[in-house]
Amino acid sequence: MDSKLIGIIGLGQMGSGIAQVTAAAGYKVVAREENEELLKKGIGRIAKQLDRAIEKGKATEADKSSLLGRISTTTRLEDFKDCDLVIEAIPENVELKIAAFKTLDGICKQSAIFASNTSSLAITDMAAVTKRPSQFVGLHFFNPVQIMKLVEVVRTIMTDDQTFGNAVKFAESVGKTVVRAKDSCGFVVNLLLIPYLIDAIRWYENGLTSKEDIDNGMKLGCGHPMGPLELTDFIGLDTILYIGDIMFDEFRESRFAPPPLLRRMVKAGYLGRKCGRGFYVYEK
C-alpha cells in the first residue's frame, strides 16, 4: 500500500478530509490547489483535525508528523504524472471537472485510475472526455470524511471490473464501508434522502404542523438523530435546492421537485447553519 501514490485535486472541505484518511492509511498523497494560500489552508485544516485527535488521546505528535509527512502539495497538475489513483474534489461544476480531467488525462500514466467525489453530477460525463473511460469511477465520500464511515463506489456502463474492484479495495483500505452504485443521479444515499427532505419541507409549507413537530416526529418516532428540517439546515438549503433541481431534471418526477418555500428561502439567504438562519435561527 505504502508504494501507491494518490493524487487529490482540490484541498477544500472534502479534499482535505480525503487526503487525511488516505495518508492515515499509509498512502503517499500529492494534493493540488489553485494557489499556495489555499494549499496552506487545506493542510491547516488537516493539522487542526489531528490536533483535536491528539487532545482526545486518539493520536500522538509523532502520528501527526508522519501523516503530514506523507502529504506533498503542489499547484502543478504535472506533479500527478506518477499517481496510481487521482481523486477529484473540486467544486460541483461539470465544466471545471471536465477541464481538470482532460488535462490530467494527458499527464497521468496510462494505468492510473480517475475518480470523482461528485455528489450529483454524472460520472459518465467526466469519464467520456478522457481516453480511459473504463478506468473511471465515482468515489463519493461523506462529510466530515474523517468521521463518516461510508463511501459510495460508483460505476458507469464503461467502467471495467478490475478498476471497480480496485476502487472498492482502496475505499476499504482507508477504513470505509462501501456501498456499490450505478451511475444514476444521487447514487443510493441522495436518491433516497433528497425526496425525504423535500417532502418534509413541502408538508411544512402546506401547514401540516410546526417545524419542531415534524423534526420531533422523525427523531422520536423513527430514532433519527436529526429531524429532516434540522438536517436540511445542517447540509445547507442551497445544496438541497441544487441537488433537487439536478435530480428533477434527470428523473422528471415530482418527488424530486424542490418546493417553492425552499427556493424562496435560498433567495432570501436563509441557507441554514452556515449563515446562522435556515428553518431555525442559530447563535453565531
215, 221, 224, 226: CA torsion to nearest 10:
20
The residue with its CB nearest to ligand NAD is 12
Q: Which of 112, 39, 105, 116 is nearest to 71 (CA)?
A: 39
Residue whose CB is less far from ligand NAD, 142 or 251: 142
Among residues 21, 30, 32, 247, the one that binds ligand NAD under rule CB under 6 A: 32
Active-site residue 119, yes or no? yes
Q: Which of 241, 239, 244, 237 is nearest to 280 (CA)?
A: 237
Among residues 53, 90, 197, 200, the one that binds ligand NAD under rule CB under 6 A: 90
* Single-letter residue type at 162: Q
Binding flag, residue 154, ligand NAD (CB under 6 A): no
Binding flag, residue 207, ligand NAD (CB under 6 A): no
Among residues 89, 126, 197, 262, the one that binds ligand NAD under rule CB under 6 A: 89
Among residues 5, 6, 7, 9, the one that binds ligand NAD under rule CB under 6 A: 9
Binding flag, residue 13, ligand NAD (CB under 6 A): yes
Q: How many degrees, rounded to 5, is the angle at CA 120 between CA 228 and CA 200?
A: 20
Catalytic residue annotation: 119, 140, 152, 190
Instruction: Tell me which residues touch ligand NAD (CB under 6 A).
Output: 9-15, 32-34, 38, 89-92, 96, 100, 117-119, 141-143
